[in-house]
Amino acid sequence: MNPNNNRKYPHRRSIRYKGYDNSSEGVYFVTLVTKHHEHLFGKIENGEMVLNQFGRIVREEWFKTAILRPNIELNEDEFVVMPNHIHGIIWITEKLKEIAYNGHGTGDLQVARTNSSDSIRPKGPLSNSIGAIIGGFKAAATKRINSLRGTYSQEVWLRNYYEHIIESEREYFNIANYIHDNPENWGINDEYYSLW
């Protein structure tokens, strides 16, 4: 589906600006690349991505993220699995805060303290941040892929990933079109992928 087909951007929540922590409500473009740029997820045929078993796992785990995290929105036309990387747009919403304030928690989205000292915080990404979301996705996909290939500790992804805050409607449409057209443009210089 082409993202420009009568799609309205304003129905989305407001866009986050630089300076906010990345667990804030906002729209994020992310790119994850396989370890050693290995072609794990399938191949491009006639400008279309043909997913193999590993590629199908990656796709399933990506969209499972929105089921497991009530503050995340993911859309089919804002995601693509390529032979050795993925591109996606993540919408962080206020749903989690709404759930927390409706009697299912305190409304505090911070990581829980491990002792009584306010100055000591657990290591790792802030709960419900882009880092936590990507970390959970990568771990789930890696576990399933390694189980399928019988290698329980083999790395699937590069350690880091590319993250960009989408700050305007124009930028959103440019990125959404880029994601949509990525299989057709396979082999052409990829400005986001070339960072890796």
For the stretch 70-81, pLDDT in tens is: 899 999 999 999
Count other C-beta atoms under 10 Å from residue 131's C-beta. Answer: 16
The Cα–Cα gap between 105 and 115 comes to 20
CA 4 to chain centroid, in Å, comes to: 21
Q: What is the pLDDT of residue 94?
A: 73
d(CA 5, CA 170): 15
CA angle 75, 57, 130 (to 5 degrees): 50
Q: With 60 as the cut, is the pLDDT of residue 3 above it?
A: no
Q: Per-residue pLDDT for 30 more than 70?
A: yes
Q: How confident is the model at residue 10 (pLDDT cuts 50, 70, 90)?
A: very low
Phi, psi of 150 (to 5 degrees): 75, 25
Length of the chain: 196
Sorting pLDDT into bands at 50, 70 and 90, what band is 173? very high
Could you tell me the two tokens for 42?
């399938």
In the chain, where are the structural domains located?
Answer: 26-195
Which helix (H) or strand (E) element contains residue 82?
Answer: none
Please state the rounded mean pLDDT for residues 35-44.
96
26-195 carries CATH number 3.30.70.1290: yes
